[in-house]
Amino acid sequence: MENVDLLGRLKPEIEKVDQVMKHDLQSLADKGLISSSLLEVLEHALFNGGKRIRPLLCLLTAALCGNTGKDIYQLAIAFEYLHVATLLHDDVIDHADTRRNRPTVNRLFGLTPAILGGDFLHARSMFLIGTLGGQRSLALICSATEAMVTGEFLQLANVQNFNQSEQDYFAVINGKTALFIGAVCEAGGIFAGADDGQIEALQTYGANLGKAFQIQDDLLDYLGDPAKTGKTVGNDFWEGKMTLPLIYTLKTAAETESDFLLELLKGEKTKRRAQFEEARDIINNSGGFAYGRELAGKLVAAGIAGLDIFKGNHSEQVKLTLIGLAHYVINRDK
């Protein structure tokens, strides 16, 4: 399924997710539960061209398990709320000025509104998950959010560790990305009454998708088109972040090239910026980018293989969509 065709098929679902979020926020405002200024912050944060991958995964995994009820949309938006809450807090931590080529909430409204907006979305998300998904789903998502924080602390602890292994890398991205996406897929299955074997398959699919998603982000940071990604190419390297292509290259490149990269990483940011293209060429020639693409492909293939447990005509189209979504994640250019 081609990306354009896939996105066209999913556009009505994405629009429905947006409608449900807007209705949810407006109903809270009408009841006096959120102020007009908070509503303005939330609308700016939420409706800025996000891909809605997490709510789509909730909708699709529930449909795969036979759900046809409309309440699933209210559960699905909870995962977008939680995702955007983390982005709001990330932008504060990173002092980011733009996201998707638009001013961040912290730049436009200030640090305090950004933090409080993230706090509100987190609280609203947990309320919706607990109410609609039940105790089992709530426990899953709480565990995944705890893992996000642990992943961030692991990343902080490794800031000056230029001898990281792939195991170190995956420990971080499992916490920051993969476990949450896996839990979203599990929650969709739980909502639809899936059995334990089906839920395990959904978790594996989602977690592998999350890992592949992060690897593709790593690749785009070196190879992406800023006009499409909305991000400056090379930012991870300038900041000295140890992502998969760089970790692989430091382990496999010739000693002179590894030493050159280590010297840049231990030196000043301005020098890394000035010699970024040379560093990128070393990573490319050492197979770092090819290795990342290969590993992302293997992860996605393993996740897709697990979906074979779902049988029946009603599930075939949904399975094709989930397969297409997985391929979109590793082939996207933004």
Which amino acid is residue 113, in one-letter code?
A: P
Q: Is 194 left (phi over 0), alpha (psi -120 to 50) or beta?
A: beta
Closest CA to 38 of 99, 88, 100: 88
Q: What is the rounded distance in angstroms from the CA atom of residue 36 to the CA atom of residue 56?
A: 28
Q: For the chain, percent helix, then strand, then coil, each to nearest 5?
A: 80, 0, 20
DSSP character at residue 98: E
Helices (H), the chain: 3-30, 36-46, 53-64, 71-94, 105-108, 111-128, 134-157, 166-173, 179-191, 196-223, 226-229, 235-238, 244-252, 255-266, 269-274, 276-285, 288-305, 313-331
User: Residues for the chain: how many in total?
Assistant: 334
Please, which pLDDT band fits residue 333 given cuts at 50, 70 and 90?
confident
pLDDT for 314 equals 75
Which amino acid is residue 6, in one-letter code?
A: L
Q: What is the rounded distance in angstroms from the CA atom of residue 143 to the CA atom of residue 156?
A: 20
Residues 20/58, Cβ–Cβ less than 8 Å:
no
Residues 238/272, Cβ–Cβ less than 8 Å:
yes
Is residue 308's pLDDT more than 70?
Answer: yes
Q: What is the rounded distance in angstroms from the CA atom of residue 92 to the CA atom of residue 41?
A: 14
> Which CATH number is 19's domain given?
1.10.600.10
**Displacement of CA 119 from its chain's centroid (Å):** 19
Closest CA to 223 of 196, 215, 255: 215
Query: What is the helix (H) or strand (E) element at residue 102, kind and residue range?
Result: strand 102-103
Number of domains in the chain: 1
Mean pLDDT, the chain, rounded, equals 93
Is residue 312's pLDDT more than 90?
Answer: no
Is residue 221's pLDDT more than 70?
Answer: yes
| Other CB atoms within 10 A of residue 259 CB | 12
- Provide the residue range defining the domain that includes 207: 3-331
Residues 230/101, Cβ–Cβ less than 8 Å:
yes
Q: What is the rounded distance in angstroms from the CA atom of residue 88 to the CA atom of residue 233?
A: 21
Q: What is the rounded distance in angstroms from the CA atom of residue 64 to the CA atom of residue 87?
A: 29
Burial of 18 (0-12, 13-18, 19+ CB in 10 A): middle
Q: What is the rounded distance in angstroms from the CA atom of residue 245 to the CA atom of residue 292?
A: 6
| Other CB atoms within 10 A of residue 33 CB | 12
Residue with tokens 């979020």, as numbered in its chain: 21
Residues 1/321, Cβ–Cβ less than 8 Å:
yes
Q: What is the rounded distance in angstroms from the CA atom of residue 57 to the CA atom of residue 85?
A: 18
Q: What is the pLDDT of residues 12-40, one digit of tens each?
A: 999 999 999 999 999 999 999 999 999 99
Q: What is the pLDDT of residues 161-201, one digit of tens each?
A: 899 999 999 999 999 999 999 999 999 999 999 999 999 99
Residues of the chain with pLDDT > 90, as a percent, come to 80
Instruction: Please say whether the dihedral angle defined by the alpha carbons of residues 209, 210, 213 and 214, taken in this order, is positive or negative.
Output: negative
**Residue bearing the bigger pLDDT, 193 or 8:** 193
Residues 77/120, Cβ–Cβ less than 8 Å:
no
pLDDT for 332 equals 87
Which of 189-203, 213-227, 283-297 has the weakest average pLDDT?
213-227
Is residue 45's pLDDT more than 60?
Answer: yes
**Displacement of CA 313 from its chain's centroid (Å):** 30
